[in-house]
């Protein structure tokens, strides 16, 4: 499976339009993050792919061929539902064994997955005694058990501690490296922004933005944050540089704690560097920060 | 039935045998069945199995087996929904009706174990001449349990919260098992006996617990007992009886499958 396309998908729940003519593509080796407020349609969109929601309209295309969400397609998916809680009466190993049997996966793989998600020690304990993070890791184990080509994760960071996050990140990296696909809905943009290749912003059942983090940053047009540490002791060169910044039209800045903090439009960064070059010795260190994806998301959501 | 469904049958059987409520009621049934059998033996009367132990065991089973079955099945679908695992289950390569069927078969096997242990205890403790009679109760009692298991499964499918399903199965147990006969008596009193024997007999047989009791009474003690109770209408024959039991068992299961299959959203 190299390319999955959901095209023109519309879902209504009574009078409410949960999805309106939504389309998106997931390609091999790509991690796509779906973001948006609660009720924006992220989970519904994923459930359409899983065959859990029947859309009024829309089609699924795999590698150029239109297909139905049937058992053959579902066999290629792995799914982690939001806040999953398995039967309290069974052990983690028994839960995984059931899914292994259902998917035709070997028992040896169960052991591998238990180790992978960090539950080998707790595998014989009843799930009822697991913490929320352990249940989430077990859910992740169920999702990756059959090494699916498309991994669908709904709020995968929920309840995960640092150890769990490391497991999640390693799974995401592995899926990308092996040319598989990941589609995940999340509210933890900051936690996952460095791990994703694309972000789709949902609002009221519509897709308001879709692109790589760098593309979306550009589209949002938010300024870069530049921090320049000034040479200690001030001096004429520093004063001249600060004065020049004050008159500069490419951005604005203020001196605080021995550093000049400036907000600069991304196209003006070279102009700032040029200005700095004309005051050699005024700046001893420089740091440029791109706007974080959650800030970009808020901007795109407001504009969309 | 595909691989997923077969795995689900095994999973359900394993999970249900670890449910403490199922265990408690099953053990209670086994203990009471044993007590009834020992009491029958101590009476020393000839034919005690037919005259004393059997009918007592039938009364006990008609009260407890429906309860075990309803406890077993009330959370089959709604429990998965509350744990957010119904979507996960349905995301496997399996049809929705197969999930319902697998849940029924898996939990039916667990019910079979509970009934088997109860009746088995009674058979083991029964006298030489009693064992055949007591063993003959196994299959009809299982049918009774399966009928209530199916009703519980349907309740579990149509409700959205487990607590609602639990409340409904308790209501069903009270209505169909505990108070049904009292309700019929009340009907006779209220109508001053103007309701025909045929109607009353039909109403008794329309309830799986009533059907079970009537069939077992006739099998153990002969038709004259029913006539003594004023039941002048004969029980359905073998084919009719099988049809009625199949209706009670398959009807709710098929309805559950249809309801789940027709649902636009599964979560």
| ipTM here | 0.87
Residue B211: inside a domain? yes
Whether B114 contacts B68, CB under 8 Å = yes
Q: How many residues does chain A have?
A: 304
Q: Is the minimum CB–CB distance between B8 and chain A shorter than 8 Å?
A: yes
* Rounded distance between C-alpha atoms, residue A270 and residue A229, angstroms: 18
Predicted confidence band of residue A126 (pLDDT cuts 50, 70, 90):
very high
Average confidence (pLDDT) over A151-173? 95
User: How confident is the model at residue B26, as a pLDDT?
Assistant: 87
Q: Is the minimum CB–CB distance between B260 and chain A shorter than 8 Å?
A: no
Judge whether residue B47 has pLDDT over 70.
no
Percent of chain A at pLDDT above 90? Answer: 69
- Residues B43, B45, B49, CA angle at the centre, nearest 5°? 90
Predicted confidence band of residue B230 (pLDDT cuts 50, 70, 90):
low
Burial of A102 (0-12, 13-18, 19+ CB in 10 A): buried
Average confidence (pLDDT) over A167-182? 96
Name the nearest CA neighbour of A77 among A168, A144, A24.
A144
Q: Which sign, positive or negative, has the C-alpha torsion A248, A254, A255, A259? A: negative
Residue A6: what are its φ and ψ, rounded to 5°?
Answer: -105, 120
Judge whether residue B228 has pLDDT over 80.
no
* Contact list, B265 vs chain A (CB under 8 Å): 13, 47, 52-54
Interface test with A, best of B2, B92, B110, B261 (most A CBs within 10 A): B92
Give chain B's domain count. 1
Q: Residue A215: helix, strand or coil by DSSP?
A: helix
Q: Which domain holds residue B254?
A: 3-262
Two tokens at A303? 């504009």
Judge whether residue B150 has pLDDT over 80.
yes
User: How confident is the model at residue A171, as a pLDDT?
Assistant: 96
Residue B193: inside a domain? yes
Average confidence (pLDDT) over A104-131? 95
User: How confident is the model at residue B188, as a pLDDT?
Assistant: 83
User: How confident is the model at residue A279, as a pLDDT?
Assistant: 86
Residue A83 to residue B84, Cβ atoms within 8 A: yes
Residue B215: inside a domain? yes
Interface test with B, best of A89, A127, A153, A183 (most B CBs within 10 A): A89
Residue B10: inside a domain? yes
Claim: this prediction has a pTM higher than 0.90: no
Q: Residue B177: helix, strand or coil by DSSP?
A: helix
Average confidence (pLDDT) over A36-49? 94
Q: Is the minimum CB–CB distance between B11 and chain A shorter than 8 Å?
A: yes
The Cα of A77 is separated from the nearest Cα of chain B by a number of Å equal to 8
Sheet containing A283-289: order of strands: A251-256, A259-264, A224-230, A283-289
Residue B164: inside a domain? yes
What single string gives the DSSP state of each residue in chain B? --HHHHHHHHHHHHHHTT-HHHHHHHHHHHHHHHHHHHHHHHH--TTHIIIIIHHHHHHHHHHHHHHHHHHHHTTTTHHHHHTT-HHHHHTSS--HHHHHHHHHHHHHHHHHHHHHHHHHHHHHHS-TTTHHHHHTTHHHHHHHHHHHHHHHHHHHHH-SSHHHHHHHHHHHHIIIIISHHHHHHHHHHHTTT-S-HHHHHHHHHTSHHHHHHHHHHHHHH-HHHHHHTT--SPPP-HHHHHHHHHHHHHHHHHHHHHHHHH-SB--
Residue B16: what are its φ and ψ, rounded to 5°?
Answer: -70, -35
Judge whether residue B103 has pLDDT over 80.
yes
Average confidence (pLDDT) over A243-265? 84
Judge whether residue B126 has pLDDT over 70.
yes
Comparison of pLDDT for B215 and A136, the residue scoring more: A136
* Rounded distance between C-alpha atoms, residue B235 and residue A30, angstroms: 68
Q: Is the minimum CB–CB distance between B83 and chain A shorter than 8 Å?
A: yes
* Rounded distance between C-alpha atoms, residue B169 and residue A246, angstroms: 76
Q: Is the minimum CB–CB distance between B51 and chain A shorter than 8 Å?
A: no
Mean of pLDDT over chain A? 92
* Rounded distance between C-alpha atoms, residue A268 and residue A192, angstroms: 28
Judge whether residue B53 has pLDDT over 90.
no
Q: Compare all CA atoms of chain A with the CA of B5 and give the residue at the minimum distance.
A: A102
The Cα of A98 is separated from the nearest Cα of chain B by a number of Å equal to 6
Residue B267: inside a domain? no
Judge whether residue B225 has pLDDT over 70.
no
Name the nearest CA neighbour of A192 among A173, A220, A217.
A173
């Amino acid at each position: 499976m190299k390319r999955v396309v959901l095209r023109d998908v519309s879902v209504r729940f009574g009078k409410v339009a949960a999805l309106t003519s939504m389309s998106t593509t997931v390609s091999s080796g790509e991690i796509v993050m779906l973001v948006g407020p609660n009720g924006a349609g992220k989970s519904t969109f994923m459930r359409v792919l899983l065959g859990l929601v029947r859309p009024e309209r829309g089609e699924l295309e795999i590698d150029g061929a239109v297909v139905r969400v049937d058992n053959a397609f579902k066999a290629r998916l792995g799914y982690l539902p939001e806040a999953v809680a398995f039967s309290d009466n069974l052990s983690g190993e028994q839960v995984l064994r059931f899914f292994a049997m259902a998917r035709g996966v070997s028992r040896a793989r169960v052991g591998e997955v238990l180790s992978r998600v960090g539950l080998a020690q707790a595998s014989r304990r009843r799930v009822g005694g697991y913490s929320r993070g352990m249940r989430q890791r077990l859910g992740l184990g169920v999702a990756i058990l059959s090494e699916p080509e498309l991994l669908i994760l709904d709020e995968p960071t929920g309840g995960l501690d640092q150890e769990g996050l490391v497991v999640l990140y390693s799974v995401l990296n592995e899926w990308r490296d092996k040319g598989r696909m990941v589609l995940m809905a999340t509210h933890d943009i900051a936690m996952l922004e460095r791990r994703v290749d694309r972000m789709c912003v949902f609002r009221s059942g519509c897709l308001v933005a879709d692109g790589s983090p760098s593309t979306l940053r550009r589209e949002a047009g938010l300024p870069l944050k530049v921090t320049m540490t000034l040479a200690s002791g001030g001096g004429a060169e520093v004063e001249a540089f600060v004065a020049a910044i004050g008159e500069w039209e490419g951005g604005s800045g203020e001196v605080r704690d021995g550093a000049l903090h400036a907000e600069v439009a991304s196209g003006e960064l070279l102009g700032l560097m040029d200005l700095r070059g004309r005051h050699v010795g005024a700046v001893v260190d420089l740091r440029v920060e791109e706007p974080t994806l959650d800030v970009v998301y808020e901007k795109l959501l407001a504009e969309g | 039935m595909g691989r997923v469904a077969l795995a689900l049958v095994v999973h359900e059987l394993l999970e249900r045998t670890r449910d403490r409520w199922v265990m408690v009621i099953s053990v209670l049934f086994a203990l009471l069945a044993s007590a009834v059998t020992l009491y029958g033996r101590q009476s020393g009367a000839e034919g005690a199995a037919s005259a004393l132990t059997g009918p007592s065991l039938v009364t006990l089973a008609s009260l407890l087996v429906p309860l075990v079955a309803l406890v077993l099945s009330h959370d089959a679908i709604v429990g998965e929904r509350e744990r957010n695992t119904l979507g996960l289950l349905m995301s496997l390569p399996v049809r929705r009706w197969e999930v319902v069927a697998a849940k029924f078969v898996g939990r039916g096997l667990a019910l079979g174990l509970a009934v088997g242990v109860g009746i088995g205890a009674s058979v083991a403790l029964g006298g030489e001449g009693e064992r055949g009679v007591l063993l003959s109760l196994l299959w009809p009692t299982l049918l009774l349990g399966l009928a209530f298991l199916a009703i519980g499964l349907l309740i579990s499918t149509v409700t959205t919260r487990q607590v609602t399903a639990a409340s409904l199965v308790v209501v069903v147990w009270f209505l169909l098992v505990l108070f049904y006969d009292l309700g019929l008596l009340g009907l006779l009193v209220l109508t001053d006996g103007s309701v025909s024997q045929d109607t009353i007999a039909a109403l008794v047989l329309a309830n799986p617990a009533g059907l079970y009791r009537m069939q077992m009474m006739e099998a153990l003690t002969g038709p004259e007992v029913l006539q003594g109770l004023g039941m002048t209408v004969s029980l359905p024959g073998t084919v009719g009886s099988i049809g009625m039991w199949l209706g009670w068992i398959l009807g709710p299961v098929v309805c559950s499958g249809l309801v789940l299959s027709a649902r636009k959203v599964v979560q």
